[in-house]
Amino acid sequence: MRRIILAATLSLLIPELVAAQQATATLPAGTTIRVTAPQALTERTTGAFQAARSDSLWMHAGRSRQLVIPVAAVERLEVSKGRARLKWALIGAGSGALAGFVLGGMAGGKDDITGTGAATGAIAGTAQGIVLGAIGGALLAPRRWVGYPVSALR
């Protein structure tokens, strides 16, 4: 009786396990990828994933440039995980605050004997540096790339 229950349970679970494996092995169309294939491409190429067949990878690189790359030629495949904009905004804000403090203090301290101009300049420079640095950091945040197994395309 136990064998029958075990067999019935496994027969119900196996399709779920296979479906889970297939879901992790496919990339959704439109995913940003970066391909290194020296035999097929002159340089590492970034574009939008379209499809993968058993022997070829299809992607859009640029506005109207569609590429078909032999899977055998692909040395490295990477998937974009977006940009860490908050992290880079915080880094930019910190850098901007420091630069604004120093430059604002220097600019406000010229020809000021009391030092209040330097303090005011440092405060104003810090505030401006935080804002400009955060905006710059968020806009210039680099993409994060994660390796993707080429074997999953085959």
* pLDDT value at residue 153: 75
Model pTM?
0.62
* pLDDT value at residue 115: 77
- Which residue stretches of the chain have pLDDT < 50? 5-6, 8-10, 12-25
pLDDT by residue (tens digit) across 26-50?
Answer: 788 899 999 999 998 889 999 999 9
pLDDT by residue (tens digit) across 86-103?
Answer: 999 999 999 999 999 999
Nearest to 152 by CA among 15, 17, 23, 66: 23
Tell me how far CA of residue 93 lies from CA of 82, 87, 90, 99, 144, in angstroms. Answer: 20, 10, 5, 10, 20
* pLDDT value at residue 76: 93
* pLDDT value at residue 24: 40
Please list, in sequence order, all residues whose beta carbon lies within 8 angstroms of the beta carbon of residue 123, skipping any fewer than 6 positions away.
104
- Longest Cα–Cα distance of the chain, Å, equals 96
